[in-house]
Amino acid sequence: MDGVDATPLVPGQTKLVAPKTRRGRRFLEARAPKAIEDAKRCLFLYGNQTSQVIKDVITDLYQLKRLEAARFSRKNENVRPFEPGGETSLEFYCNRNNCPMFVMGSHSKKRPHNLVIGRMFDFHLYDALELGVEEFKAIKDFGAAGTGAQMGNKPLIIFMGEKFESVPALALAKSLLLDLFRGEQVDKINLAGIDRVIMAVALDDARLQLRQYSIRFKKSGTRIPRVALTEMGPTMGLSVRRYRLPPSDMVAEAMKVARTGKKKQKNVSSDNLDGKVGRIYMPKQNMDTLGLSKYKGTKRERRESAREASEAKKRPKTATAPTTAGGDDE
């Protein structure tokens, strides 16, 4: 990006990146933290070795997330989220493509048809879940069943089974699948725009099934249409392998909620009649020492002289004995 220094930072290093152009300023503002975050972008990539099943899984998941996703087509040998130091390259790729989520596919003799779903916080690995693909049926195998679903519409996500609440691995799977398919957070939604259903079923503590159905509204003879579900794919049977939970300090940092609304003012309230009502506490003021502009007649010297004159008039006069010029009478 022009005008922005995109050099990755060393962990523990603080660096202030200042934009040099207007395009760079807009780029940094788009990546800045927000009270309501945008839809989470997802990075789809491959590990050291892959299989045709994993390639088909990545292709179908990318097709469902195409509007908020980036995809790598080459193999990445150094990406190992569950090994110490193996997340460095992954964090760099997610930072470069502005993707706080990732889906990685790999294949080995020990872990065949391996699928890893994870999230980032501040572009550091937050949590990850490793799944094994045991059954898979691609979207193209269902023919024209999925043509009614439009790209960008929000799906209805259903989780069946109490295991999603009690088993830590499946609870993590539920959280990751919600972030992966939810898209942008909205307050209201048009029910007529819901054209597909994603269903996750917990079979036991370590297995789940993932299905997707298209919604068709058909005539029912009343104002309320009849809802018909048609499987559109992809269909996957998944088994839980390894999972990585976030550290407690990172959880406390990630769960902080930004303050919304105006700051509460002291001694200020509002009602329906008077509107904004406030209470003011005024200390006792001395008008003599208050620094205000005074008129000529209100100056301190004139007030003091007038006060002394009025006090002098109010004082009683003392009586004196009369005297004669000839002295005392005989």
CATH classification of the domain holding 165: 3.40.50.10480
- Band of residue 4 on the pLDDT scale cut at 50, 70, 90: very low
Q: How many residues does this entry show for the chain? A: 330
Domain assignment present for residue 197? The answer is yes
Residue 211 pairs in a beta bridge with: 199
Secondary-structure breakdown of the chain: helix, strand, coil percentages, each rounded to the nearest 5: 30, 25, 45
pLDDT band (50, 70, 90) for residue 330? very low
Does position 7 have pLDDT exceeding 50, yes or no? no
Banded model confidence at residue 81, pLDDT cuts 50, 70, 90: very high
Asked if the model's pLDDT at residue 321 lies above 70, the reply is no
Residue 322 lies in a domain: no
Q: List Cα–Cα distances, 89 to 78, 95, 121, in angstroms.
A: 7, 10, 15
Please indicate, yes or no, if residue 295 is contained in any of the structural domains.
Answer: no
Percent of the chain past pLDDT 90, that is, above it, reads 43
Residue 297 belongs to some domain of the structure: no
> What's the DSSP call for residue 154?
P
Residue 324 is predicted with a pLDDT of 53
C-alpha–C-alpha distance, residues 22 and 32, integer Å? 15
Residue 85 maps to a domain: yes
| 210 sits in which H/E element | strand 207-218
Cα separation of the two ends of the chain:
129
Average pLDDT, rounded, for the chain: 83
Least confident among 216-230, 238-252, 297-311, 314-328: 314-328
**Residues 106-165: tens digit of each pLDDT:** 999 999 999 999 999 988 999 999 999 999 999 988 887 666 567 778 889 999 999 999
For residue 244, is it within any domain?
Answer: yes
Better-predicted residue by pLDDT, 322 or 1: 322
Task: Let me know: does 102 contact 94? Beta carbons within 8 Å.
Answer: yes
Closest CA to 91 of 36, 26, 9, 4: 9
167 located within any domain: yes
DSSP 61-97: HHHHTGGGEEEEEEE-TT--TTSTTTTHHHHHHHHHH
Domain that holds residue 90: 37-252
**Locus of tokens 């819901």:** 194
Q: Give me the pLDDT at residue 62, please.
A: 93
What distance in Å separates the CA atoms of residue 118 and residue 109, rounded to the nearest whole number?
22
- pLDDT for 306 equals 79
- Angle of CA points 217, 202, 90, to nearest 5°: 95
Residue 191: per-residue pLDDT: 78
Would the pLDDT of 93 be above 90?
yes
Specify whether the CB–CB gap between 46 and 72 falls below 8 A.
Answer: yes
Arithmetic mean of pLDDT, 72-94:
91
- The answer to whether position 321 is within a domain reads no
Residue of 193 and 108 predicted with greater confidence: 108
pLDDT band at 6 (very low <50, low <70, confident <90, very high): very low
pLDDT of residue 296: 61
Averaged over 64-85, what is the pLDDT? 91
Query: How many domains, the chain?
Result: 1
Phi then psi for residue 324, to 5 deg, are -115, 160
Provide mean pLDDT across the span 13-35: 76
